[in-house]
Amino acid sequence: MKALQAHPDIHAPAGPVCLVILDGVGLGPADDGNAWHLAQTPVLDALFAGPVSGSLRAHGVAVGMPSDKDMGNSEVGHNALGAGRVFDQGAKLVEDGVTNGSLVAGETWGWIIEAAKAGGTLHLIGLFSDGNVHSHLDHAYALMNDALGKGVARVRIHPLLDGRDVGERSALTYLEPLEAWLAEQRAAGHDVDVASGGGRMHVTMDRYEADWRVVERGWRAHVLGDARRFGSATEAVRTFRDEDPEVTDQYLPPFVVADASGPTGVIEDGDAVVLFNFRGDRAIEITRAFETPAGDSFAFERERVPKVRFAGMMQYDGDLQLPRRYLVSPPVIERTVGELLAAAGKRQLAISETQKFGHVTYFYNGNRSEPFSAELERYVEVPSDPVDFAERPWMKAAEVVDRAIAELDAFKPAFVRMNLANGDMVGHTGVLRSAVMAMEALDLSLGRFLDAVSDRGGVAIVTADHGNCEEMFIKDKRGAFVLNEGGGRVPKTSHTLNPVPCAIVGADGLRWSAPTDAGIANLGATALVLLGFEPPADYLPAVVRPA
């Protein structure tokens, strides 16, 4: 690894350079669903109206997601912030896993296969098309082929029909070859079949908790075998189309494939289930249905929660650890900001409350848990309260800042990375009033920290990893709030596609010079520049330069 070189024009400040990550605080329209807009936030308002400030991309390809339809998340966001570059996520990683064999060589796939070979059934659920936005059918075939090759006796697939990322009535284009392939496998002695399915907008793939009935329909079909029965998936599609010539694939009703003995593949205790979608937004709710323990309160009555081994193609929500097991690991990232600074002999402080502790350590360091230098790095976790954050929207912002200020003097770090989790964790609750209070608590604590940094001659980069609390209600394509049956606004509990703010505080003699397509990955180089170093040549350019 090449050592960092001194920057020719910019010198490190007398105090620390601090990266302050306001988790889940994006830039959205100033409307009645924007918690930041509704909150009293004098510090933030002044900060982002300052001379060295702008906006950065924090979703889609700017953070390595398959497309700009994909919202950012805390894991890929902190990867980007720490790496200074963009690494492939999602579709590209899975495709590479298929090509090089790693998709079916990992510990989680072995864990799935173990259950299926011990007498259980392997179930694959996912969007079955080649749209490559949420999934790709080639990935499902790769898993089935490997499972059969390893001796799994019984496989069932639950195809969700697309009609959105592909032709609106193209389902048979995918189902007919699938059924032909399954017939070939049965002729070779394998017990394989389609078990259930339905259109993606009507079955299983709800998002943003817009309509849990969509997930309930999928649960009843996939798990309970409770839906209209047909002899095959193609028969189901043809029948639905005959009955309603206007229906498109994405809105097809749920169906169950059955024979004289009943459904071909309900999900039972001891089975293994893989959700082969790689994109998270429409995978989170069905994942929650499988991973929420029986007896716990849930959004609908599940009736029966089978004890299965469940895995996702990817981890769909790192904040909530959904799912707990997944097939494709995060990218391998080398020469992160933390690694380079440790090699340069610089002290570093990483601090957050529990909810985001792994993000300022593991994810920021390129998916590495341990410090690069135990002597030069200090990781501080402030324990989060095990409560509903809608009831404690201030969370531990004050305590995190208290400890961070104390460490500025006790440890004297050259570089600090601090995450304040309020915007994201309270935004996830969908409770607007709480999110407004979260932003006000965040603003108060941030102001204290910035004053402390200034008093010590330091510089602060204030930004976010993705949006969330600036969009607390679901909107339609026109930007209008979606209303429920009672006329109320539908809460949004997910991340957003919005850009995030960025401001540099204490950067005398510098000006904002971000490229037009700059994203949060550009802040890796920015941190190094502010510390007086020339960034590596392959880092994305810094967002500041001498005035």
- pLDDT for 279 equals 82
Picking from 542, 44, 46, 23, the residue whose alpha carbon sits closest to that of residue 319 is 23
Measured distance CA(164)–CA(190) in Å, rounded? 32
Residues near 383 by beta carbon (within 8 Å), at least 6 away in sequence: 353, 354, 396
DSSP 8-state symbol, 272? E
Q: List the strands of the sheet with 459-463, edge to edge.
A: 53-56, 500-505, 459-463, 17-22, 415-420, 348-353, 377-382
Measured distance CA(87)–CA(7) in Å, rounded? 26
Q: What is the pLDDT of residues 43-54, one digit of tens each?
A: 999 999 999 999
- pLDDT for 319 equals 58
Q: Is the peptide bond before 263 cis (omega within 30 degrees of 0)?
A: no
- pLDDT for 500 equals 98
- Give me the residue spans of the domains in the chain: 17-89+332-540, 106-312
Catalytic residue (one of 74, 129, 135, 232): 74
DSSP 8-state symbol, 372? S
For 10, phi then psi, to 5°, come to -120, 135
What value, to the nearest 5°, has the Cα angle with vertex 378 and ends 415 and 409? 65
Measured distance CA(314)–CA(312) in Å, rounded? 5
Residues near 387 by beta carbon (within 8 Å), at least 6 away in sequence: none
- pLDDT for 208 equals 67
Identify the segments of the chain with pLDDT beneath 50. none
Element at 420 (helix H, strand E): strand 415-420
Same CATH topology for 17-89+332-540 and 106-312: the answer is: no
CATH number for 106-312: choose from 3.50.50.60, 1.20.1540.10, 1.20.59.10, 3.40.1450.10.
3.40.1450.10
Question: Cβ(125)–Cβ(161) under 8 Å?
Answer: no
Q: Where are any strands of DSSP class E within 292-389?
A: 309-312, 348-353, 377-382
Exposure string of 159-192, with b = 16+ CB inside 10 Å and e = fewer, is: bbbbbbbbeebbbbebbeebbeebeebeeeebeb
Fold assignment, 17-89+332-540: Alkaline Phosphatase, subunit A (3.40.720)
- pLDDT for 71 equals 83
74 a catalytic residue: yes
Write down the pTM of the prediction.
0.76
Class of residue 212 by CB neighbours under 10 A (exposed 0-12, middle 13-18, buried 19+)? middle
Q: What is the pLDDT of residues 63-122, one digit of tens each?
A: 988 788 888 888 889 999 999 999 988 888 999 999 999 999 999 999 999 999 999 999
**DSSP of 139-171, one letter per residue?**
HHHHHHHHHHHTT--EEEEEEEE-SSSS-TT-H
Exposure string of 241-262, with b = 16+ CB inside 10 Å and e = fewer, is: beeeeebbbbbbbbbbbbeeee
